[in-house]
């Protein structure tokens, strides 16, 4: 825990803040776009992650970091009800993730990768139509094409609309997947390592594009990332995961050397860089963000 900071209340509520029987926990967090409570995933006999709880407020960008095998992708999939948890609940945009109904269309999801037969003769436009399934492939094709082109234009990929999906480069495919996630004008974006497959030179541009879209459209973003430079530059809060949630808070406040060591173990040295010791201006910005969200708090280390 950050020195001098009070530990923020647990998501499920401290004793003095316990919700009455007729009040849901989510009522205590009216600004929450994402509310994860006591989430545990076990596959077979193997615990993937345990007792994970956090809140992401509307309009924030939260980034999940951790080593390979830490459970990051599994956490995202569990949040989306693609995997059933052993315990816990997830609330997305005010709805239980197990019964989202029409709210599901307000959530854009971009997986880490898309596995497909690259010889299959399907175009970007036809892939995008799958997201517009409600009105059927055979109706209002002109209107649908405009909707698809608008989404592709947001990610600067409109020229790819008639390209075979198997002929896309790694960076082009990631832009198409991002456009797919944006197609129905979501309020919440959940992105699993969105720059996977993008060359190093294009990564900064791609993350800047996501940040621009988030700011322009006032979206909430939950993103898995391995890049601490990106975390410090764009995240309002960071979640350190390695089978359990080890820390959460403003990056400049919680990503100290000992936390990186705890999160990454022997690999911690490879993740250290100059952002490990942000300048005083950055620290003051982080403190101001904390005061706005939880007066007196500067982030939480999980012991």
Query: Diameter of the chain by CA atoms?
Result: 62
SS (H, E, C) 174-235: HHHHHHHHHCCCCCEEEEECCCCCCCHHHHHHHHHHHHHHHHHHCCEEEEECCCHHHHHHHC
| The predicted structure's pLDDT at residue 266 | 61
Residue 296 scores a pLDDT above 60: no
* Termini Cα distance of the chain: 8
Whether 136 maps to a domain, the answer reads no
SS (H, E, C) 121-167: CCEHHHHHHHHHHHHCCCCCHHHHHHHHHHHHHHCCCHHHCCCEHHH
Whether 128 maps to a domain, the answer reads no
Q: What is the mean pLDDT of residues 215-226?
A: 95
CATH code, domain with 99: 3.40.50.300
| The predicted structure's pLDDT at residue 118 | 78
The total number of structural domains in the chain stands at 1
Q: What span, in angstroms and rounded, lies between the C-alpha atoms of 154 and 142? A: 19
Residue 299 scores a pLDDT above 70: no
Whether 228 maps to a domain, the answer reads yes
Q: What is the mean pLDDT of residues 145-163?
A: 95
| The predicted structure's pLDDT at residue 9 | 43
**Could you tell me the pLDDT band of residue 2, with boundaries at 50, 70 and 90?**
very low
Whether 66 maps to a domain, the answer reads yes
Residue 268 scores a pLDDT above 90: no
Tokens of 225: 């990332």
Which range among 15-24, 117-126, 213-222, 223-232 shows the weakest confidence by mean pLDDT?
Answer: 15-24
Q: What span, in angstroms and rounded, lies between the C-alpha atoms of 235 and 104? A: 24
Whether 105 maps to a domain, the answer reads yes
Q: What angle do CA 257, 258, 260 make, to 5 degrees?
A: 65
Whether 76 maps to a domain, the answer reads yes
Whether 233 maps to a domain, the answer reads yes
Q: What span, in angstroms and rounded, lies between the C-alpha atoms of 90 and 80? A: 8
Specify the pTM: 0.79
**Could you tell me the pLDDT band of residue 264, with boundaries at 50, 70 and 90?**
confident
**Which has the higher per-residue pLDDT, 60 or 284?**
60
Structural domain boundaries enclosing 281: 15-112+183-201+217-301
| The predicted structure's pLDDT at residue 274 | 39
- Angle separating helix axes 141-154 and 170-182, nearest 10 degrees: 120
Q: What is the mean pLDDT of residues 86-96?
A: 96
Sheet holding 32-43, edge to edge: 46-57, 32-43, 87-92, 95-96
**Could you tell me the pLDDT band of residue 283, with boundaries at 50, 70 and 90?**
very low
Residue 280 scores a pLDDT above 60: no
DSSP H or E segment with residue 91 = strand 87-92
Whether 93 maps to a domain, the answer reads yes
| The predicted structure's pLDDT at residue 236 | 96
Q: What is the mean pLDDT of residues 257-263?
A: 90
């Amino acid at each position: 825990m950050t020195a001098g900071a009070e530990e923020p209340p647990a998501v499920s509520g401290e004793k003095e803040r316990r919700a009455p029987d007729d009040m849901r926990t989510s009522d205590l967090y009216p600004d929450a776009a994402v509310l994860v409570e006591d989430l545990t995933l076990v596959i077979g006999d193997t615990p993937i992650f345990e007792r994970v709880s956090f809140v992401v407020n509307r309009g924030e960008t939260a980034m999940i970091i951790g080593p390979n095998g830490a459970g990051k992708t599994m956490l995202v999939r569990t949040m989306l009800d693609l995997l059933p948890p052993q315990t816990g609940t997830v609330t997305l945009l005010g709805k239980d993730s197990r019964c989202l109904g029409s709210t599901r269309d307000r959530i854009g999801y971009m997986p880490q990768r898309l596995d497909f037969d690259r010889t299959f003769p399907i175009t970007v436009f036809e892939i995008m139509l799958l997201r517009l399934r409600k009105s059927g492939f055979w109706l209002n094709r002109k209107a649908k094409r405009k909707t698809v082109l608008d989404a592709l234009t947001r990610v600067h990929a409109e020229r790819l609309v008639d390209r075979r999906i198997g002929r896309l480069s790694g960076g082009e495919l990631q832009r198409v997947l991002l456009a797919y996630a944006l197609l129905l004008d979501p309020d919440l974006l959940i992105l699993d390592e969105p720059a996977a497959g993008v060359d190093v030179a294009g990564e900064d541009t791609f993350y800047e594009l996501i940040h621009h879209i988030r700011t322009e459209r006032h979206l909430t973003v939950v993103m898995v990332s391995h890049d601490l430079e990106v975390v410090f530059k764009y995240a309002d809060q960071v979640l350190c995961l390695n089978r359990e949630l080890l820390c959460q808070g403003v990056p400049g406040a919680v990503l100290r050397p000992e936390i990186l060591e705890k999160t990454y173990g022997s690999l911690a040295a490879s993740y250290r860089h100059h952002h490990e010791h942000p300048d005083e201006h950055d620290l003051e910005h982080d403190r101001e963000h904390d005061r706005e969200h939880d007066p007196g708090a500067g982030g939480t280390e999980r012991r």
